[in-house]
Each structure stands twice: as structure tokens, then as C-alpha cells.
Structure 1
């Protein structure tokens, strides 16, 4: 996130109104709901996690223990259980 100077973006009337409530402070203005992006939408992280989960499930079905998978992927055993259950139910 980068900062935008209010004087370069907003009309003076809006700046003065905001100053009544937040004089000199930092304020975050969220995106409109229609412009929000889902988590992982800008990167390929979602796809990487899907591939990882599928790989974990395949390795588990090939006989790899949950404990070993947890250590290999740096996850808790509970997370491995969740991934296996999710992939099994697909």
C-alpha cells in the first residue's frame, strides 16, 4: 500500500471536512466492495496451495505417514488431516 497526498487528490472542501475528524492523522479508506480482490487473486498462491494439497493427498494415498507429511511441508498434523479430508470429499 502506498500513500497518496490528499492535497493532490481531494478537493479542499473534503480535506477540511476530514480534518474536523482526523487532523493530521493517518486514515485508511477501504476499497469499494465491488473493487475488492479475493485473497490470492493477484498472485498464483491459490494455485500453488491447490497443487500442494493435491500432492499431499497423493503422497498420503501412496502410504506416506501424516507425521512425515507434516514435517515435510512444515504443517501441523491437524492441517494434514484437514487437507486429506478436503481432497477425499472432492
Structure 2
């Protein structure tokens, strides 16, 4: 997340009013209702993980062992089992 200086985008009167509540601290301003994106959509992380998890499931279906999948993807056995369980539901 990139921070923007309030003084660069807000009227001076609003900056002064905000300083009464958060003097020099960080504040998060949420998106307008209906404009929120799911985690990882903007960065592409969600798509990457979806593809990776499908790949793990396919390799397991082709006979790859849990241990080999753990080593190849640097994940714990518990994580691999969770991915397999979730992909099987689909």
C-alpha cells in the first residue's frame, strides 16, 4: 500500500480537523461500499495461488507424493493437505 500525504490531496481545513484526532499517526480510509476488492486481486497473488494450488492437485492426482510436493513448493504437509482438500471440493 502506498501512503499519500494528506496535505497534498485534502483541503487545509480538513487536514487541521484530522490532526485533532490523529496528529502525525497513520490512518486507513476504507474504500467506498461496493468498491472493495478481494484480497490479492490487484497484485495478482490470488490468481497465482489459484493456479499453483491447481498444479499441486494435478501433480498429486498423477501420483506425486506429499513429501515431494512439500519440497517442490516449500510448504508444510499440513498446507499441502489443505490445498488438496480444497481443490477436491471444486
Q: TM-score, normalised by structure 1?
A: 0.78
Deviation of residue 33 (structure 1)? Answer: 4.5
RMSD: 1.9
Aligned residue number for residue 9 of structure 2? 9
Number of matched pairs? 88
Q: TM-score, normalised by structure 2?
A: 0.78
Any gaps of 5 or more consecutive residues in structure 1?
none
Deviation of residue 71 (structure 1)? Answer: 0.8
Any gaps of 5 or more consecutive residues in structure 2?
none
Per the alignment, in what secondary structure is the counterpart of residue 42 of structure 2?
coil
Instruction: Answer with 1 or 2: which has the greater Rg.
Output: 1
> In structure 2, how many angstroms separate the alpha carbons of the residues matched to 1:47 and 1:82?
18
1:30-45 alignment to 2 at 5 Å? 30-34=29-33, 35-45=35-45
